[in-house]
Structure 1
Amino acid sequence: MTSPLGPRRRKPTPKASPPPTSGGRRSGPAELMAAAQAAVEAAQTAAGQALETAQLTAGHAFDAAVRLPPASAQLAAQLPDLIENLATTIERLNTTIDRLDRTLALADPAFAAYDRLLPRLEAMIAMGEDVFGALAKLPGVSLLGKVTGFAAKPAQDPKPGKSRKK
């Protein structure tokens, strides 16, 4: 017959062996206290060293801050705003460059037409000057120029500061 609590007979469980100790015996309360005190002392030493290091670092930082000229501190305080303004300026410059690039792309056909047209215009101007020079050599053209008011401009002296009269 079985009870609601289960079988009365328990299965044998293997006994766990105690952790091995250095002397093959268990540590007593005195040894545990000594180990705990040693751990506390080690933690206090580590904390003290960390505190000394932090104080030394803070001292160096304070010395550097005290030796920092006020103008440098003011510049350092303005640095984030300067960087933001620089970023804005660079963004605007990129926009302007893009706009200029698009404008030049639209104007490229006009520049090509000017390149084809300019040599022809220079040739026409040179031919007009040759015709004007040939007409100026004809007799009576100077009188005609005076009558009509389209007289040729007088030739410039090669040395404008000196007169020809002596």
Structure 2
Amino acid sequence: MTTPKGAGRKGSVPKVPGGRVPSPSDILAAAQSAVEAAQSAAVQALDAAQLTAGQALDAAVRLPPASAQLAVRLPDLIENLSVAIDRLNSTIDRLDRTLALADPALAAYDRLLPRLEAMVGLGEDVLAALAKLPGVSLLGRFTGKSAEPPPDPDPPKRRRRR
């Protein structure tokens, strides 16, 4: 039968792996090595913090004033850039809608231009045929209109210096 207190009335001693109970000197030695490890880690952390602070100070001292001003203004510049991109997008959308509305007119111009070019060519052919008729040049002289435009005057000749 078991007792309500457990398996026996022996005092409960914590069992250590390996079955050995540490002595007070072992505990003291472990505590001292833990303190030494903590002090070593604290010294290393302090050295690293001092090194980092020194590098940050060196970088701040070597940083040109123009770069510092640029770094301060960078958020505003990014905001202005995003506003400009939004405006550009809205302008592109507006241009796209305008071109969509103008597309039928441009298509009509494309169909009309060959006809206009043909009419201009026909007019030039008619004028060339009329110029070949006898007496047209005489008629042009009477009316003050000539069949061919007068030639351009020659540019004045320059004298060479010797």
TM-score above 0.5: yes
**TM-score normalised over the length of structure 2:** 0.75
- Structure 1's consecutive aligned runs of 4 or more residues displaced over 6 angstroms after TM superposition are none
The residue type paired with residue 43 of structure 1 is A
TM-score in terms of structure 1 length = 0.74
Q: Which has the higher contact order (CA 8 A, sep 6+)?
A: 2
Q: Aligned residues: percent identity? A: 60
Using the TM superposition, name which of 50-59 and 70-79 deviates more. 70-79
**1:95 aligned residue:** 90
Give the Å deviation of 1:111.
Answer: 1.2
**In the TM superposition, what are the counterparts of 1:49-68 in structure 2 within 5 Å?**
49-68=44-63
Paired AA for residue 63 in structure 1: D
- From 150, 153, 161, the equivalent of 2:155 is 161
Quick one: distance in 2 between partners of 1:72 and 1:37? 51
Aligned partner letter, 1:141: L
Indicate which of 18, 38, 51 corresponds to 2:14. Answer: 18
Pairs aligned (count): 149
**Corresponding position: 1:36 with 2:34:** no
Per the alignment, residue 140 of structure 2 pairs with 142
Q: Which stretches in structure 1 are left out of the alignment for 5+ residues?
A: 1-8
Alpha-carbon offset, residue 36 of structure 1: 2.3
Equivalent AA in structure 1 for residue 93 of structure 2: D
Structure 1 residue 97: Cα displacement: 1.1
Task: Indicate whether 1:124 and 2:122 are aligned.
Answer: no
Q: Does 1:81 align with 2:79?
A: no
Q: CA deviation at 1:23?
A: 7.5
Letter of the 2:155 counterpart = G
Unaligned runs of 5+ in 2: 158-162
Considering only aligned residues, what root-mean-square deviation do their CA atoms show, in Å? 2.8
Q: Distance in 2 between matches of 1:89 and 1:20?
A: 72
Q: Once the 2 structures are TM-superposed, how far is the Cα of residue 38 of structure 1 from its aligned partner?
A: 2.3
| 3-state SS of paired residue (1:38) | helix
